[in-house]
Structure 1
């Protein structure tokens, strides 16, 4: 829960107290709308401060905010009379939260999950509103943009969705300019370019085993507030990861587009395509934070809702990922920082499972059947 009280609360207090506003008056690692739930938490925490103190009040208020957002999304998911698919998706969500542990709630990523779930459920009935919600989610944490991209590729109302996304983005950018932001507007992109390879990143796995053997070091970066790996060749790997991830996203998008042009049904194509794009963002990332596993929940929930029979394998893989991630963080994280073999083995297993999930998702996209329109009589 450390980030909530050690990072989010100071950012919120500074902005509410007339101090620096991250993302506006100074560069920030997150898109600017991420500050809104932090500010709202600060306001919710104010009446609790005399009873609990600043840090505890903020922590409780954060839990309340995330709990309410999850409850709203859960209500949209199950409705008044949920069928078997939605009931299964609801149980999956509960199980994933339980297995992943506190990290599923006490990070900014937790705010974007219910937004993505609701938006995904509305893609067919309210496509413009769904696209707007996903765009808002992307301006909090980038990953919901993968769901928007998958929806545009797989859907039939892409122009309406693109227009909604452009309107939301224009409003956000206009508001930031009015607040005085200039070079800080895209700071969340430039702030990531110079960072090193975080120890939990998939690409860091071989270097972690070098650390076990004493041939690499784990060091803390005070600039980016993460533990990174230091070893010969790490900088080169870190330098190529982001371009490779971008190429992979383009390739997966192209694969989805080809499948869509063959007449693929939205409910068959969108879920695996969305999950494939999200897993590519995780596997190709220089960061491998445990909260990234929450990104996987929305695509799998939607996959269960629309295509339950084929969602079993990815759902089981994600549940396994949640469990292994919790075993790493927070349960054995101190030992991981000492490069002990057991937590490094657990992290290796998690990273292998992520790669397997990527392959399973891509295989599902490739196996989506073409539905060619019937020929019209001349």
Structure 2
């Protein structure tokens, strides 16, 4: 039954992505395809010139050309189906998800059921449906697949976990934070670090041998010119200022970055502050995690909340906001469901709502948002506030994972049964 749902889901999202007039897979069928066609003609982004993504992002883009440029979108869909099928098979059949780890405490085990892997798998498929065609139509699909498996293997196969997370980092940068999270949370942290280092250095060496030179790290400089993107949580005040006609506030299209941004009084200050605020948020979360781990908390209590806190921090404090960012949240949610069962139910419900709100915004009514329709601004505000709430709840959950001193009264546990 679940595999039939998997096939129907991917067929449905693929059809919408490839045929909807709003071009939800435009990045794939236009931008990605043009990059690869340029490479086949002698100029490779990331090697011969700068690239907005790390080098491994080229691999699925190249593979999608296997059916030819006219069927590039179909080729992409087939690759996504293969990647997601591998993830689903892993969730349903791997020893890492079929039984609680030896590190699961008796308290955690109370929320674990033998069929929890099916709950996690069904939640994932439901989340993809709620998020819509963007869930399959961006490069993020592939690094998220690597992250899901990498996190689930953190305890049983820490070196493999490190390798997978490092490979994901070379598709998009954000999984680098999860490498640090796993190193902090697991007992065999040296194995994680070595696995990640070997994989990361290996990709870098291959890139240099291909002649990438400084272009190997051009994705860093390519992001510095971005302004406040319309969907980012930090952009909300300026979106509303533009709606109310505050002088100097407006939505505009950046021809260099190829994205819609917003500006207005104080926007340049917010733009400047986002990077240090993001760095501070990540450092604070990691410092909290170290303190919690040193108190004696187990990996199964720490890593799901820590991963979710880091991922949501990367969204909340980021001047870039894209619908596919919501896909990142699915990895720590799946980890939390598998390792903590119904204890992670509240997070799973909130993430599902975030997916649904995001699909309303993109791709169907995105033009309404850009024209500052008040209903769409309310939807965007609700979505972004809910991301902030999810971040706060994840940090609280991480704090509560600490092992309390004798005599300390534990805080009540709040959960939503899946």
Partner residue, 1:183:
214
Partner Cα distance (2:46, 2:177) in 1: 22
- Give the unaligned 5+ runs of structure 2: 1-24, 99-113, 406-418
TM-score after normalising by structure 1: 0.93
Partner residue, 2:319:
286
Q: Give the 3-state SS of the residue equivalent to 1:285 in structure 2.
A: coil
Is 1:29 aligned with 2:52?
yes
Partner residue, 2:7:
none
Contact 1:263 1:371 in 2 (8 A): no
Is 1:158 aligned with 2:182?
no
| Alignment partner of 1:96 out of 109, 117, 127 | 127
Contact 1:4 1:106 in 2 (8 A): yes
Q: Give the 3-state SS of the residue equivalent to 2:324 in structure 1.
A: helix
Partner Cα distance (1:139, 1:315) in 2: 27
Indicate the larger mover: 175-184 or 242-251: 175-184
Partner residue, 1:119:
150
- 1:217 Cα shift? 1.1
CA RMSD across the alignment: 1.4
Partner Cα distance (1:316, 1:88) in 2: 13
Partner residue, 1:41:
64
- 1:145 Cα shift? 2.0
Partner Cα distance (2:243, 2:254) in 1: 20
- 1:310 Cα shift? 1.6
Partner Cα distance (2:215, 2:266) in 1: 31
Contact 2:140 2:324 in 1 (8 A): yes
- Give the 5 Å matches for 1:1-378: 1-15=25-39, 17-43=40-66, 45-46=67-68, 54-55=69-70, 57-79=71-93, 82=98, 83-215=114-246, 216-370=249-403
Indicate the larger mover: 320-329 or 176-185: 176-185
Seen in structure 2, the aligned counterparts of structure 1 residues 155 and 80 have a Cα distance that, compared at 3 Å, is closer
- 1:80 Cα shift? 7.7
- 1:371 Cα shift? 7.9
Contact 1:198 1:286 in 2 (8 A): yes
- Give the unaligned 5+ runs of structure 1: 47-53, 373-378
Q: Give the 3-state SS of the residue equivalent to 1:23 in structure 2.
A: coil
Partner Cα distance (2:190, 2:341) in 1: 29
Partner Cα distance (2:269, 2:216) in 1: 28
Partner Cα distance (1:279, 1:315) in 2: 13
Partner Cα distance (2:222, 2:116) in 1: 41
Cα displacement string for residues 164-211 of structure 1 (whole angstroms, at most 9, x for unaligned residues): 111111111111111112221221111112211100011000100011
